[in-house]
Structure 1
Amino acid sequence: MILSINSELNVFLLVLCVGFFLGIIYDLIRIVRRVYKHNIFAINIEDSIFWIVTIFILFEFLKYKNSGEFRGFILIGCIIGVILYFYLLSNVLSKMGVAFLKYIDCLIQKVFKLLNFINFFSKIPLLSEKIRVLYNKKIMK
């Protein structure tokens, strides 16, 4: 299919956005890795899943916008979109994302501590009941 220059420019700008979006997705994976340590096997699995999803997104985009044709400017646009994201927003969003995840993690830990505290005190009536039963048994003997 022959595209006009305007159509190619439109596809190029859209693929820049796709590259930008893929940079955000990979950055989210990196943020999770910074907060929750992973072993090398988990990192390899995450990267494999990311690339499979990336390929699927790019092929669906190409099928929808460019009749499935892959051209050099599409690859260049995607790479430029990723590079733009990493130079413009990655540092700021990574720091915010790490801080947010650490805050959520701290909040969850506090909730679990509170639940453990409540669970501990909920056992006291059961314990006092057992002591009372044992005491009554001793008195009856």
Structure 2
Amino acid sequence: MSEVIRHEIWFFFFSLLSGVILLCAYDQLRVLRRVIPHNGFFQSLEDFFFWTAAGIFCFGVSFRGNSGSIRGFSLAALVFGMWFYHRTVSPWVITCETFVFRTASKKTVFLCRKALKKAWNWVTMRITCKNVGVKRKKQGSE
């Protein structure tokens, strides 16, 4: 097999993997939206910045991977990689990560509330003890 054909095959698989990575990154954004609900404006803003960066990424993959010439098969491989990931792995990734982050956030909120309650009790106890000491000093001097 010639070196040119070998390079084209590797470039195709690299484009395919880039599509998978791109949609995997978008899944992280989808998980974030499920864990922390957003309104439409912020979702649109996130999408705008993500897809702008994704377009720059796709252009860079296509431009750098093939010595400056943009090839149609590389863009098709990007799209196919995204489609394949979306149909196979994406639902599992989103479900599992959402479960993990929601569970972790609930435990974190519970632990923070517990720590804040202890801190609040310590502060109120210090304030109460100081006030009681001041009242005793006033009563003893009279």
Same-fold status (TM-score > 0.5): yes
CA contact (8 A) 1:59 1:68 kept: no
For the residues of structure 2 that align with 1:118 and 1:33, how far apart are their CA atoms?
A: 32
**Shift of residue 74 of structure 1?**
1.3
| Alignment coverage as a number of residue pairs | 139
Matches within 5 A, 1:1-141: 4-123=4-123, 124-141=125-142
Q: Single out whichever of 14-23 and 49-58 deviates more from structure 2.
A: 49-58
Mean Cα deviation higher: 75-84 or 46-55 = 46-55
C-alpha separation in 2, matches of 1:107 and 1:56: 38
Cα offset, 1:7, TM superposition: 2.2
Offset from partner CA, 1:95-117 (integer Å, 9 cap, x none): 11101110221122022112212
Identical positions, percent: 23
Deviates more, 1:44-53 or 1:25-34: 44-53
Are the counterparts in 1 of residues 63 and 70 from structure 2 also a CA contact under 8 Å? no
| d(CA) in 2 for partners of 1:56, 1:104 | 34
Cα pair 2:62 2:75 within 8 Å, conserved: no
Could you state the TM-score of these two structures normalised by the residue count of structure 2? 0.89
Cα deviation code 1:58-115 (max 9, x no counterpart): 2222232111221211111011000110111011111111011102211220221122
Q: Deviations over 1:9-34 (max 9, x none)?
A: 22111100000001100111001101
Asked whether the equivalents of residues 23 and 85 of structure 2 are also in contact (C-alpha less than 8 Å), the reply is yes
Give the TM-score, by structure 1 length. Answer: 0.89
Tell me if the contact between 1:31 and 1:97 (Cα under 8 Å) persists in the aligned partners. yes
Q: CA RMSD in A?
A: 1.6
Measured in 1, the distance between the counterparts of 2:16 and 2:107 equals 37
2-side partners of 1:109 and 1:9: how far apart?
Answer: 49
